[in-house]
Amino acid sequence: MVSFTDIEHAELPNGMRLAWQSVGEGEPLLLVMGLGAQMLMWPDGFCAMLAERGFRVIRFDNRDVGLSTRCNAQGPVPLPKLVAAFAGRGRHRAPYRLHDMADDARGLLDALGIASAHVVGASLGGMVAQQLAIQAPSKVRSLTSIMSTTGSRRVGLPSPRALSALLKPMENTEEGQIRRMVSFFGEVGSPAFPPDPAELEIIARGSFARGVSGDGFGRQLMAVLASGNRTEGLRRLDLPALVIHGDSDPLVRVSGGEATARAIPGATWMRVAGMGHDLPRPVWPRFVDGIRTVAERA
């Protein structure tokens, strides 16, 4: 049985301090989590399955979440500004952009002495992984983009109900945070694989103990909205790639995954029936097989 290392911190040249941990030995595989989500959202069991397939699995807290650097000096992003950016009204400055978060991921690999890694990203993490492959192709052996999109305003847009659930304010109590997480994944989770409220409660309690930040969430979201369309950059990629998306995802609709798979030359497309915007346990073996297969093409 594999087990995680203790949580450590990496000091990056750009001033960020990222919390990370790893499990397993073998080829390095970097997991990049999504909007406002901590490394805990990569389930232990899923990471263990990847480790058992020959990977050294590294998960970390992005900037502005969990135990990593909070960019509080940049200030909060007001909700009306986020709504206007979603609607495409005007030009909006962001405290940072996806290329900065991709620099963080690259800096973490450098700090760990890893020349290149297989990179797997979910949701916003998929966008960061895509951007890392575009701006630092030598660092990415293979790319897996899960429930993500290209940045084009024509694809992957959320349903109104999913957007409303996403923008619901953070709770400042542990029980409130549990209610918010259970409610959110009840709205955007997989209809064919209903989320387990008990598992969500465990993650919510762990996340609350490590620290949640509504301001950090807003800054990450503005990074997404201000970073533009990656389609042309994706078309220039020359690496093995896998794109995974559920056909029942209301938050990043499946057209976002389809567009990503079309853009990356030779990408493998995996459409999962009944999957929403989460990582349901019954499909973990399929994901792990796909990630292992694309890694073997590197």
DSSP per position, 27-65? EEEEEE--TT--GGGS-HHHHHHHHHTTEEEEEEPPTTS
pLDDT score of 86 = 79
**Rounded Cα–Cα distance for residues 116 and 127 (Å):** 18
Q: How do the pLDDT tens digits run along the chain, 298 residues long?
A: 578 999 999 999 999 999 999 999 999 999 999 999 999 999 999 999 999 999 999 999 999 999 999 999 999 998 888 888 877 776 778 999 999 999 999 999 999 999 999 999 999 999 999 999 999 999 999 999 999 999 999 999 999 999 999 999 888 899 999 999 999 999 999 999 999 999 999 999 999 999 998 999 999 999 999 999 999 999 999 999 999 999 999 999 999 999 999 999 999 999 999 999 999 999 999 999 999 999 999 9
User: pLDDT at position 50, please?
Assistant: 98
For tokens 């058992």, name the residue.
Answer: 52
Beta bridge partners of 118: 29, 142
Query: 10 Å Cβ neighbour count for 169?
Result: 10
Q: Supply the DSSP string of the chain, one letter for each residue.
A: ---BPPPEEEE-TTS-EEEEEEESSSEEEEEE--TT--GGGS-HHHHHHHHHTTEEEEEEPPTTSTTSPP-GGG----HHHHHHHHTT-S----SS-HHHHHHHHHHHHHHTT-S-EEEEEETHHHHHHHHHHHH-GGGEEEEEEES---S-TTSSPPPHHHHHHHTSPPPSSHHHHHHHHHHHHHHHS-TTS---HHHHHHHHHHHHHH---HHHHHHHHHHHHHS---HHHHHT--S-EEEEEETT-SSS-HHHHHHHHHHSTT-EEEEETT--SS--GGGHHHHHHHHHHHHHT-
pLDDT score for 1: 59
Phi, psi for 268 (deg, rounded to 5): -85, 135
Q: What pTM was computed for the model?
A: 0.96
Q: How many angstroms separate the CA atoms of 263 and 150, rounded? A: 8
CATH level 3 topology of 8-157+214-296: Rossmann fold (3.40.50)
Q: How is the chain split into domains, by residue range? A: 8-157+214-296
Q: Following CA atoms 78, 229, 124, 13 in sequence, which dihedral angle do they give, to the nearest 10 degrees?
A: -90
Q: What is the pLDDT of residue 80?
A: 86
**pLDDT, position 90:** 64
